[in-house]
Amino acid sequence: MMGKCSKSLMAFPILLHTLCFLLFPQPLLSQENHFVRQPAGQLIITPHQRYNSDPQQVHISLMGKENMSVSWITEDKHTKSVVEYGTKSGEYSAKATGEHTSYQYFFYNSGRIHNVVIGPLQPSTTYFYRCGGSGPEFSFKTPPPKLPIEFVIVGDLGQTEWTASTLKHVDSSDYDMFLLPGDLSYADSQQPLWDSFGRLVEPYASKRPWMVTEGNHEIEIFPIIYPQGFKAYNARWTMPFQQSGSTSNLYYSFEVAGTHIIMLGSYTDFDAQSQQYTWLQSDLTNIDRVKTPWVIALLHAPWYNTNEAHQGEGESMRQAMEELLYNARVDLVFAGHVHAYERFTRIYDNKADLCGPMYVTIGDGGNSEGLALKFKNPPSPLSLYREPSFGHGRLRILNETHAHWSWHRNNDTDAVIADGIWIESLSSSKACSKTPDQRDHAAKEEL
């Protein structure tokens, strides 16, 4: 039998999102640009249209240097967790077996969630694969072994008409890896929306690795019954946390093509006594900037923000962890949460600092709540570009010293490049190669 969505379970979220859409019945005109800014898009429900034994919601994630984790769901509880794969379509020279799990959330019972790690794989190579022994063939391309590499970065994705537009624009130009700093499905405890989201992103997440961290919409806590939260997120989106020495799927790191990427958790403990803080200290200490000259961090709640929305929500985490990132010379920090785009200069402790990270808010993927339209005025000199529009970003790291960042606004059928900047790695900066104490000492000697 073909799988079917539960209409009764879906009715409530559809009504909620329709109400939100009706609150913004007219397009909004930008005060800073001469184009029409659209309201939040309508919710898209992506139904299950395959056999119950066939894979659905297929997505892949990097799992160590030469391996890939393949995840999918079947309604059939007896389907085996097996992936067949090879470098020729229809010819599978290798086979791997993995694990499966499932979860219950009130009256909702998930399908069988499969996770299989395949490899070792060759870099910059297209692999064809089949999940569970039946259903369609998928393919993916592994990341390159060294620079250059291109990342797509977008947060607060959701599953609206604007989400579909963002993903279409992303797919129009090739890239190597998708980075998502939190707020994936906007299920908000309505579990069928997790399934719908998985089906919506499958055409993209099955062919390039998606590396994600959690946002506030993944928490899904219910007092007493589900006090820990992240039940669906942890079951559905398993990241390589153990490979980086982390004890939690909510924060981890990985390396790819000369880049060390840190995925931090805004919604788990982060103070100086926390496990995440201790892990981050160790992770940063072990970075080899000769091997990985670029270091990037992603988190959900921004540490710097001139939008009126979510003011100060990342401040306690900034106070706890900013010095660690600064001393380690992290190049860029990407955040979501605020439904707009904003790019800052290099900052440390609320002041411009050439040796601090460049901060970018990219929470504009297509969420169901609409855009955060109001920025604080007068603008801060630290904020160099800000705009409440849907879109996505691309970070192309060309070599050990230079990268290019661009932000692509969704504008009708085209993705318009609205902002772009060349970036020099801090590892190549002689001025920033010294520790803060050494720089202070040198400055005193100059005086």
Specify the DSSP element, H or E, that contains 343. strand 341-348
**Which positions ≥6 away from 87 have C-beta within 8 Å?**
93, 125, 126, 127, 128
Q: Report which DSSP code applies to 191.
A: T
In the predicted structure, residue 305 carries a pLDDT above the cut 90: yes
Predicted confidence at residue 438, as pLDDT, reads: 55
402 in Cβ contact with 335 (< 8 Å): no
Residue of higher predicted confidence among 411 and 383: 383
In the predicted structure, residue 39 carries a pLDDT above the cut 70: no
In the predicted structure, residue 432 carries a pLDDT above the cut 80: yes
Mean pLDDT confidence for 138-155: 98
The rounded percent of the chain whose pLDDT value lies above 90 is 84
Give pLDDT tens digits for 257-301: 999 999 999 999 999 999 999 999 999 999 999 999 999 999 999
Predicted confidence at residue 433, as pLDDT, reads: 83
Give pLDDT tens digits for 205-264: 999 999 999 999 999 999 989 999 999 999 999 999 999 999 999 999 999 999 999 999
Give pLDDT tens digits for 315-337: 999 999 999 999 999 999 999 99
Helix, strand, coil share (%) of the chain residues, nearest 5: 20, 30, 50
Q: Which of 226, 225, 156 is nearest to 367 (CA)?
A: 156
Mean pLDDT confidence for 339-356: 98
The rounded percent of the chain whose pLDDT value lies above 70 is 87
In the predicted structure, residue 307 carries a pLDDT above the cut 50: yes
d(CA 121, CA 123): 7
Tokens of 20: 């939100």
Is the four-CA dihedral 312, 313, 319, 322 of positive or negative sign? negative
Predicted confidence at residue 197, as pLDDT, reads: 98
Give pLDDT tens digits for 47-95: 999 999 999 999 999 999 899 999 999 999 999 999 999 999 999 999 9
Mean per-residue pLDDT of the chain:
90
pTM listed for this prediction: 0.90
Mean pLDDT confidence for 132-145: 97
Query: Could you tell me which residues are beta bridge partners of residue 84?
Result: 95, 130
**Which positions ≥6 away from 81 have C-beta within 8 Å?**
97, 98, 99, 100, 114, 115, 116, 132
Predicted confidence at residue 414, as pLDDT, reads: 72
**Which residues are marked as active site?**
310
Predicted confidence at residue 41, as pLDDT, reads: 81
First to last CA, the chain: 80
Predicted confidence at residue 5, as pLDDT, reads: 36
In the predicted structure, residue 148 carries a pLDDT above the cut 70: yes
In the predicted structure, residue 183 carries a pLDDT above the cut 50: yes
